[in-house]
Structure 1
Amino acid sequence: MEKIKMKTPLVEMDGDEMTRVLWREIKSILLEPFIELNTKYYDLGLLNRDITNDEVTKEAALAIKKYGVGVKCATITPNKDRVKEYNLKEMYKSPNGTIRAILDGTVFRAPIITKVVEAYIKTWKKPITIARHAYGDIYKDVEMKVSKGKCELLFTDENGNEERKLIHNFDGDGVVLGMHNLNNSIESFARSSFNYALDTKQDLWFSSKDTISKLYDHTFKDIFNDIFEKEYKEKFEKENIEYFYTLIDDAVARVIKSEGGMIWACKNYDGDVMSDMIATAFGSLAMMTSVLVSPDGNFEYEAAHGTVQRHYYKHLKGEETSTNSVATIFAWTGALRKRGELDSNKELINFSNSLEDAVIETIEKGFMTKDLALISNFENIKVRNSFEFLEDVKNTLLDKIL
């Protein structure tokens, strides 16, 4: 068959460890035989980030702003042990955090569902997508251990005027934290969430705790409501989808009793926790997609999991691994499909859909990696190693498209 051509480049960001190994194999086995890949390549592997003083991460993010769509391999965010292991110049920041900040994006995470792995919540029939506001709150907090004394919140405006509020009079040892957010970041979060709901034609929920946090959380609620009423209400009605706000404890109860199929927008910490809960309840973090969406229409796709360090060390020793590559494959298909949509390239869209179907069909025929085999009730399981699974998917794909 003639290879599919791409009109506009895709920003390709390579990564680390076992996911880097699989990245190369996915391209070689599942993509390059069928597509004339047109990518702008950036090596976000930890060693190259160190060589470039992490400038390569910023360059990749700016390239996404230029070309509109990127696909990213999992990367290491170094701790002290990694700094020593890789002999790094410094402890570099999370590449994902850098890219999110430059794109001003919101992270959307959704499970990949197959019949061979049942959700732990029996009512869940459709994916539940978590939209996480990836700025502020405790992730940019300031913390302090205190003893007996008075703690105040002080704000000094640009004219030097001060406003103070008592936090607590401490009779003994304690701890305090201060956190913040920005209205323009919350607005970007809201618009990205509304746009993604329209793009995927799903209901959108937003939850916080405005009854307790009458200024901080209430600001989120008010911004979402104002933007919806002014910019999105008619669009939602036209698509027959719904937006509503509820308290986060009520949202949890509603989600558990639902059949799924909605986008649940959460503040930063809530989204961090709930996305892992959703992933586990649907079966596996290795079956979780992640897409960063900016309010001005840029998209970055990746797997929700990390670099699979333990399997990488086994791979280096020449030992067999059975690493689940599904979310990484879906990062590629998501990016290629979006590239196709933006370029009106139906062939690329159809191929992306066919490859995703081939992955699911392969698993539902019983060919799967060890992590899925351990949680599946399927009777005729054939456990495949990291590379055999990719070949199995290719065979299923060829049956579909030839």
Structure 2
Amino acid sequence: MEARTIVILGGDQTGQELLEAALRVLQPDVVGVELSLPEFDLSLANRRATRNGVVHDAARAIRDHGLGLKAATITPEGAGDVGSPNRILREDIGGKVIVRTGRRIPGVVPVGGVHAPISVVRMAVGDAYGAREWREGSGLDEIAFRTERIERRLCRAVAEFSFRQAERSGAKVFGGPKYTVSPVYEGMLKEEMDAAAERHPEVPYEPQLIDATFALLISSSGAPMVIPALNRDGDILSDLVLPLFGSIAGSESLLVAFGDEGIDEPTALMAEAAHGTAPALEGKDVANPMAMILAAAALLAQTDDERCQAAGRAIREATLEAVAEGVRTADLGGHHGTTAFTDEIIGRTRTKLDVWASL
């Protein structure tokens, strides 16, 4: 059988070190699947040297092969520099949806009633970001304006992916935009959520206004949830939801590209950890690779290949079980380094897949 290709996007500082840890877990003798892992160096130095040519090349490879795994990278602040590689990747790949999932880490105390995973599915483009802004008048009579836009195709992609994600994870679709105040603009997403609910009648559906969504997160029953959102609403929600679990170490981020209809299967997926490059931890073998490992697992789980799906599940379960049994890095109160933690996940993943094969 032809090897599945995952395009590897290298990064900066600790981001690169944690990517290398995740790649150790993806080796064929661990996951039982032959994977092709072509690498592109997206370090700041190489992006500058190629004037972002390497970023465009990496995006083209992800479009061709459908899967990408990215390390955390540095975005320089200076005008005229190479800017954000994530923006280029998003545009070149055609990413429409960003999915960030928070989950409880064994031994880490969550906030409130949060227990089961919560995924925020938000628009990757449009809405408040990239809106045209201007001002008129002066003094206290000065007025600021902003013209925002969303597209029905994008609303449909967010809604459809939300219901598919809920279907896969046994979750309910919860929340939504402020459609009562903005029935024309924000109501477009609500219309697509309602239409997706009709296409997926087996998925529990509890639409809520965005302000009620924030309030009810803390008092929820602890059931798994998928929350579809506009771009800025989802950005803010992600920043709230992930820390609710006590640490973002168990959270991964997915960029999803779709065809023109918005309800087709994804055409490309790029996974990464939700954290940054952590320069203070570079070279010390103490950083937590958990989020990068879970990002790799999420990528495998999203494929249509049963062997890859099984490998993704094995990695995820092995990681969480290891932490539950006290195998933790310092940020979670443990004494394992990056290498030792990864070694443990490798051993447990192999054992799980061996046992499942025997059954």
TM-score band w.r.t. shorter chain: 0.7 to 0.9
1:198 aligns with 2:167: yes
Any idea what SS the aligned residue of 2:133 has? strand
The answer (yes or no) to whether the contact 1:140–1:180 under 8 Å persists in 2 is no
Are residues 30 and 384 of structure 1, via their aligned partners in 2, closer, same or farther at CA, if it must alter by over 3 Å?
farther
Aligned twin of 1:64: 62
Are residues 104 and 321 of structure 1, via their aligned partners in 2, closer, same or farther at CA, if it must alter by over 3 Å?
closer
Q: 1:393 aligns with which of 333, 345, 348?
A: 345
1:306 aligns with 2:276: yes
Are residues 100 and 30 of structure 1, via their aligned partners in 2, closer, same or farther at CA, if it must alter by over 3 Å?
closer
Aligned twin of 1:44: 42
1:213 aligns with 2:204: no
1:75 aligns with 2:27: no
The answer (yes or no) to whether the contact 2:108–2:247 under 8 Å persists in 1 is no
TM-superposition CA deviations, 1:186-212 (whole Å, max 9, x none): 333333333333344432234111232
The answer (yes or no) to whether the contact 2:250–2:294 under 8 Å persists in 1 is no
Give 1:392's aligned amino acid.
E
The TM-score, its normalising length taken from structure 1, stands at: 0.76
The Cα of 1:23 is off from its aligned counterpart by: 1.7
Give 1:243's aligned amino acid.
Y
Are residues 352 and 211 of structure 1, via their aligned partners in 2, closer, same or farther at CA, if it must alter by over 3 Å?
closer
Are residues 359 and 343 of structure 1, via their aligned partners in 2, closer, same or farther at CA, if it must alter by over 3 Å?
closer
Aligned twin of 1:286: 249
Are residues 302 and 6 of structure 1, via their aligned partners in 2, closer, same or farther at CA, if it must alter by over 3 Å?
farther
1:116 aligns with 2:107: yes
CA distance in 1, matches of 2:321, 2:167: 28
Q: 2:214 aligns with which of 248, 252, 256?
A: 252
The Cα of 1:277 is off from its aligned counterpart by: 0.8
Unaligned ranges ≥5, structure 2: 260-265, 355-359
Give 1:257's aligned amino acid.
S
CA distance in 1, matches of 2:173, 2:29: 38
Q: 2:300 aligns with which of 332, 336, 358?
A: 336
TM-superposition CA deviations, 1:232-277 (whole Å, max 9, x none): 62x422xx21234321122223322221301001111111111111
1:326 aligns with 2:315: no
The TM-score, its normalising length taken from structure 2, stands at: 0.85
Higher Cα Rg, which structure: 1
Are residues 200 and 299 of structure 1, via their aligned partners in 2, closer, same or farther at CA, if it must alter by over 3 Å?
farther
The Cα of 1:293 is off from its aligned counterpart by: 2.3
Are residues 9 and 399 of structure 1, via their aligned partners in 2, closer, same or farther at CA, if it must alter by over 3 Å?
closer
Are residues 310 and 146 of structure 1, via their aligned partners in 2, closer, same or farther at CA, if it must alter by over 3 Å?
farther
Aligned twin of 2:86: 96
Q: 2:204 aligns with which of 216, 220, 242?
A: 242
CA distance in 1, matches of 2:26, 2:186: 45
CA distance in 2, matches of 1:171, 1:335: 52
RMSD: 2.6
Identical amino acids, percent of aligned pairs: 27
1:353 aligns with 2:343: no
